[in-house]
Amino acid sequence: MLLSVENLRIGFGPLEPLVGVDLGVDKGEILGLVGESGSGKSMTAMSVMGLLPLMGGRIKQGRIVFDGTDLTGLGEKAYRKLRGGRIALITQNPMTSLDPVVRVGRQIDQTAELHLGLSRKAAKARTIELMDRMRIPAPQHTYEQFPHQLSGGLRQRIVIAMALAGDPDLLIADEPTTALDVTVQAQIIQLLVELVRDRGLGLVLITHDMGVIAQTCDRVAVMYCGRVVEYGPVATIFDDPRHPYTKALISCIPQVGMAPGSLTGIPGMVPSARDMPPGCRFNPRCDSVMDICRAREPQINTEAGRSVACFLYAGDRP
Ligand SMILES: Nc1ncnc2c1ncn2[C@@H]1O[C@H](COP(=O)(O)OP(=O)(O)OP(=O)(O)O)[C@@H](O)[C@H]1O
Ligand SMILES: [Mg+2]
């Protein structure tokens, strides 16, 4: 595995946004991370990027193994080399990753200069090539533009080019297309998929969209309230979802020919971090809830390459 997260638990004071997350991604593979708002997808990304301390959080338990090295003990100085170098992050809002007063081309150059030690001239040549690869029209011209002069879709392509400029092995894309219109969304996802296939990158794709997961990912980790509740190959999980939460998410994917307005969310609300229900965190919303689900928290069980944390499928079923 290029990256494996093992039993990760993180804390912000008394709050624990992640309580035992396990997942992995290999080179040339796309792992989808899905779940409703607040499930811990971004926190997982922040943990891998080593950004928790800067946000006031910390790792309480578990390991984050990247290319054979546990990153959990790594200091900020070592992490700074890794970030933007071997591991890159793309976020939802490209403006947060871009400097408004620096020409976009230079911003890509700077990543290559910093992480690959290229000269300014070599970096520029590489930037133009990368921009071309991102299908940015007229790269020579766009190179000179400032972020505010570009459309949202172009800005996100610049951010992806910047993420690639350090020649990373692992890319984490945290809802990279949420802010974009549907056509542009599809183009950006397509670009990311090509990068994985052509360059052998490992990609963690964070999204709310089960449809995107089904179409693009190799494996999926379904998160709910700081846990991975189901994990496995996309084909397996979509053919035969086990966790009631996964089933609910899949049933919310809009189908072709569905009447407008018939789109429904999952009934009930995600509990707040301060008010977690005892037992399985999904039990108040689960249509298959049993007594034990209110009493005990199900462990994640792995069987035949897939994992699920649910008493319906637990070895220790009552
Ligand atoms: N800076 C922070 N300090 C403390 N807790 C936080 C912070 N940011 C988020 N949280 C909490 O961590 C939990 C997980 O949040 P996270 O942002 O990872 O969710 P998410 O799955 O990315 O949601 P979304 O789909 O809305 O982006 C939530 O309970 C949230 O309230
Ligand atoms: Mg998020």
C-alpha 92 to ligand 2 mean position (Å) = 9
> Closest Cα to residue 192, out of 128, 130, 134?
134
pLDDT at 261 over 70: no
> How large is the average pLDDT for residues 37-48?
96
C-alpha 17 to ligand 2 mean position (Å) = 12
Is 116 buried (19+), middle (13-18) or exposed (0-12) by CB count in 10 A?
middle
Identity (one letter) of the amino acid at 3?
A: L
What is the model's pLDDT at position 264? 64
C-alpha 124 to ligand 2 mean position (Å) = 33
- Interval 225-252: pLDDT, tens: 999 999 999 999 999 999 999 999 998 8
User: Which numbered ligand comes closest to the C-alpha of 52?
Assistant: 1
C-alpha 64 to ligand 2 mean position (Å) = 19
pLDDT at 317 over 70: no
User: Which numbered ligand comes closest to the C-alpha of 44?
Assistant: 1
pLDDT-above-70 percentage for the chain: 96
- Pocket probe mutation, ligand 1, options 10, 19, 33, 39, max atoms within 8 Å of Cβ: 39
User: Which numbered ligand comes closest to the C-alpha of 35?
Assistant: 1
Q: What burial letters (b/e) apply to 181-201, b meaning 16+ CB within 10 Å?
A: eeebbebbbebbbebbeeeeb
- Interval 175-230: pLDDT, tens: 998 878 888 888 889 989 999 999 999 999 999 889 999 999 999 999 999 999 99
Radius of gyration over alpha carbons of the chain, in Å?
20
**Nearest alpha carbon, ligand 1 atom 10:** 17
Long-range contacts (CB closer than 8 Å, 24 or more residues apart) made by 254-260: 254/211
Atom of ligand 1 nearest to the CA of 43: 18
**Nearest alpha carbon, ligand 1 atom 17:** 42
Q: Could you tell me the residue ranges of all domains in the chain?
A: 3-86+169-271, 95-167
The SS3 of residue 22 is strand
C-alpha 125 to ligand 2 mean position (Å) = 34
- Superfamily covering domain 3-86+169-271: P-loop containing nucleotide triphosphate hydrolases (3.40.50.300)
CA 220 to chain CA mean position, Å: 10
Concatenating the DSSP letter of every residue in 123-175 gives HHHHHHHHHHHTT-SSHHHHHT--GGGS-HHHHHHHHHHHHHHT--SEEEEES
Contacts of 38 (CB under 8 A, 6+ apart): 225, 270, 273
Is 90 buried (19+), middle (13-18) or exposed (0-12) by CB count in 10 A?
buried
